[in-house]
Amino acid sequence: MKTNLAPTRSNLMRLAEELKFAELGHELLDQKRSILVGELLTLVDQAVDYEGRVVKALGEAQTTLSDAIMQMGRLRVGNLAGAVNIDYSINLGSRRVMGVTVPRVDTTFTDNSPYFSAEDTSILAEVSIERYRTTLSLMGRLAELKVSIMRLAREVKKTIRKVNALEKIVIPENKETMAWMRGRIEEQERENFILLKVVKDRMEQAEEESRALKSLKSNDRVREEGEHGSSI
């Protein structure tokens, strides 16, 4: 409670405006928190799905590569790997979610096939290349999701702290200060009313005493004039 403020109506009006602003801010931040939490949960579900897909795709790619080595030999597969010519690009963008900038990752590949002759070459080599390429695309998307989750989680924590500060400190403190200030103002008004009543009673009493004194003086003057007339 802010007891250092003077209990005046101007300060009470200012506190009322601050309380209104704080309640509006609390409402908006609460809505922001709900939207961010919803978006965060959606991204977490997607990240779990993509992580499973990455693990599965990587396992399949490694299995296919192992099978190709078993069929053609490690030296032959190594020579074929040197002939693979695939250009790739990773485009980084961004989007905003309730004021939070989250990344967008787009991975594209450009094939310059055929990389090698199909003669004496196992189809597993081609399959392995395709599966590793798929895995890299999934890993780009997974990286996008994980970074987005970290940023949104950090913003959710900040928003929750602000909401709690408004809900548990600022708004209750303002309401308590306004209640105290209203009580003090009402008390001052009662004291002023009593003081004015006392002053009014004293003024009326003084006027009555003044009228009584004037009446007394007037009676004395009339009596004196009567005594003077009778002596003549």
CATH number of the domain enclosing 116:
1.10.287.3240
Q: Determine, yes or no, domain membership for 64.
A: yes
pLDDT class of 47 with cuts at 50, 70, 90: very high
pLDDT class of 160 with cuts at 50, 70, 90: very high
Q: How many domains does the chain have?
A: 1
Q: Determine, yes or no, domain membership for 46.
A: yes
| Centroid of chain to Cα 170 | 14
Q: Determine, yes or no, domain membership for 226.
A: no
Domain that holds residue 127: 9-179
pLDDT, the chain, mean: 84
Residue with tokens 């296919």: 64
Q: Determine, yes or no, domain membership for 211.
A: no
**What are the distances in angstroms from CA 153 to CA 15, 50, 52, 147, 226?**
33, 19, 21, 10, 106
Q: Determine, yes or no, domain membership for 206.
A: no
Evaluate the CA torsion angle 20, 21, 23, 24 in order and state its sign.
Answer: positive
Q: Determine, yes or no, domain membership for 208.
A: no
Q: Determine, yes or no, domain membership for 32.
A: yes
Q: Give, in degrees to the nearest 5, the angle at Cα 111 between 106 and 113.
A: 165
Residue 229 has pLDDT above 60, yes or no: no
- Helix ranges (H only) for 74-170 are 74-83, 123-165
Q: Helix/strand/coil (H, E, C) string of 9-69?
A: HHHHHHHHHHHHHHHHHHHHHHHHHHHHHHHHHHHHHHHHHHHHHHHHHHHHHHHHHHHHH
Q: Determine, yes or no, domain membership for 216.
A: no
Residue 193 has pLDDT above 80, yes or no: yes
